[in-house]
Structures are given as C-alpha cells and as structure tokens.
C-alpha cells in the first residue's frame, strides 16, 4: 500500500466487530511506529496494550467514573480553555456531523450521554492502547508522540485494521495508571481504539472534511 493511499483511507472508527486482533500483529505495528523520528532519538513513547479481561476491568472503572460525574482532568491541557475561530466552528461542525449521522437530537440528552460514554470502552474495540510519557520529558516529546501515533495508525491501515485516537481515554489518568501499574507522575498522553471496522455501523459512514492546503499554507521564494 502506498503511503498516500493509507493517508486517504485512515479515519477515526467508532464501531468495531468482535473479531480479535492477533497480539503479534499489534507488536508489529508498535515496532513499525517506533521507526518514527524523535528529538535526539529519545524515543519517549511507552505503550500499554490492553485487551481481554484487563480491558473489561478498566472499561468498567472508566464508565463508572463517567456515570458518577467524576471530574475529568487530563495530565495536560489538550484543548484550549477559550476557543476562537476558526477552531470553534470546526469543533461544533465535527460534533454536529456525528450526532446528525446518528440522528441524535440536541434535546436528547440521554442518547448524547450514552454516545459519549462509548468513548470509555474504546467504542467496544477488542484492543485499547494507552500512551504514556516520562514526567521529565517536555513539550518536544508531544511532537515526537504525534509522529509515533500517526505512524501506528497508517501501519494499521495497511494491516486492514481500524483505529480511533482518543483524548477521552486520558480524562481519568489516575484510574488508568492505578489499574495498569504506571507511576502516578507519568503523563498519560491519550488512548487509541484498535480493531476491525464494523462497516455496517452508521457511525462509521461519515468523514470529517479537511481544509484545502491553500487555506493554511504560504510559500516564500524571494
């Protein structure tokens, strides 16, 4: 598969089949992603692969925290506290596209709650990956991590697998660290659902639009 084909095919999938993923395949994807560049070759990524009963236990704890209304507090600020344009409009359009596809109306708070809660089981994917960073590492490692995550997702496409990178899986970091045995001061970057796409699920039928390159690119040659 050409890189351009993988880039075009990759999308965030939110419904998966029950087909399991071979651990050997997951290990291969992680190894390929590890070829990503990093400043001074620090390779700051630390990956937890969670499946089976371990995933079920963690899913249950995250869902329970969400149901209780526990405070969601990531180890870092993923989103701005004060949204500005054009990012605010893009964010709203993204949410609207999802709920419109599922025919969930604005006033239907129960279905909205249930749909959001699906985040905490990695949308039912057989595998959830959690990505950690050593507390001594700084902002540059987040750039390194972005390249690692994208490399993993593109390699997954080639294997016929689907992914969904999820900030939501980082919203209760202390639960995740306690359950998986990671140090309290480690930084939970995010999680990712991994499995085989349920192509019959309506939620997987839409694609979010992308801005043309001309809207965010400037060329300087004089």
Taking residue 199's Cβ as centre, other Cβ atoms within 10 Å add up to 11
pLDDT at 177: 98
pLDDT at 171: 98
Taking residue 144's Cβ as centre, other Cβ atoms within 10 Å add up to 21
Distance CA 169, CA 172 (A): 7
- HSE-up of residue 99 (Cα within 13 Å, Cβ side): 19
pLDDT at 215: 96
Q: Is the pTM of this model over 0.85?
A: yes
Domain ranges for the chain, please list them.
3-80+121-205
**Positions in the chain whose pLDDT score sits under 70:** none
pLDDT at 93: 96
CB 75 within 8 A of CB 174: no
pLDDT at 202: 96
Q: Which residue(s) pair with 207 in the sheet?
A: none
pLDDT tens per residue across span 32-77: 999 999 999 999 999 999 999 999 999 999 999 999 999 999 999 9
pLDDT at 62: 98
pLDDT at 137: 98
pLDDT at 28: 98
Q: 124: Cβ–Cβ under 8 A, 6 or more apart, which residues?
A: 15, 16, 118
Q: From 2.40.160.10, 3.40.109.10, 3.40.50.720, 3.40.50.300, which CATH number describes the 3-80+121-205 domain?
A: 3.40.109.10
Write the DSSP assignment of 68-129 as a string of letters: HTPPP--SS--S-SS--TTHHHHHHHHHHHHHHHTT--TT-HHHHHHHHHGGGGGGG-SEEE
Taking residue 167's Cβ as centre, other Cβ atoms within 10 Å add up to 13
pLDDT at 205: 95
């Amino acid at each position: 598969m050409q890189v351009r084909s993988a880039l075009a095919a990759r999308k965030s999938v939110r419904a998966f089949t029950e087909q399991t993923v071979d651990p050997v395949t997951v290990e291969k994807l992680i190894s390929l992603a590890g070829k990503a560049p990093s400043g001074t070759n620090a390779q700051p990524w630390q990956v937890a692969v969670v499946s089976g009963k371990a995933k079920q236990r963690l899913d249950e704890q995250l869902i329970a925290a969400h149901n209780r209304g526990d405070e969601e507090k990531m180890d870092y600020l993923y989103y701005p506290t004060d949204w500005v344009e054009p990012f605010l409009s893009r964010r709203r359009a993204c949410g609207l596209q999802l709920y419109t596809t599922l025919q969930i109306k604005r006033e239907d708070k129960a279905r909205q709650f249930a749909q959001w809660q699906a985040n905490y089981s990695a949308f039912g994917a057989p595998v959830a990956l959690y990505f950690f960073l050593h507390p001594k590492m700084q902002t540059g490692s987040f750039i390194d991590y972005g390249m690692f995550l994208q490399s993993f997702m593109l390699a997954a496409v080639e294997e016929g697998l689907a992914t969904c990178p999820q900030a939501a899986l980082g919203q209760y970091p202390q639960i995740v660290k306690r359950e998986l045995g990671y140090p309290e001061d480690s930084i939970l970057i995010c999680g990712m659902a991994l499995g085989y796409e349920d192509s019959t699920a309506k939620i997987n039928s839409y694609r979010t639009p992308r801005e043309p390159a001309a809207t965010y690119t400037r060329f300087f040659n004089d």
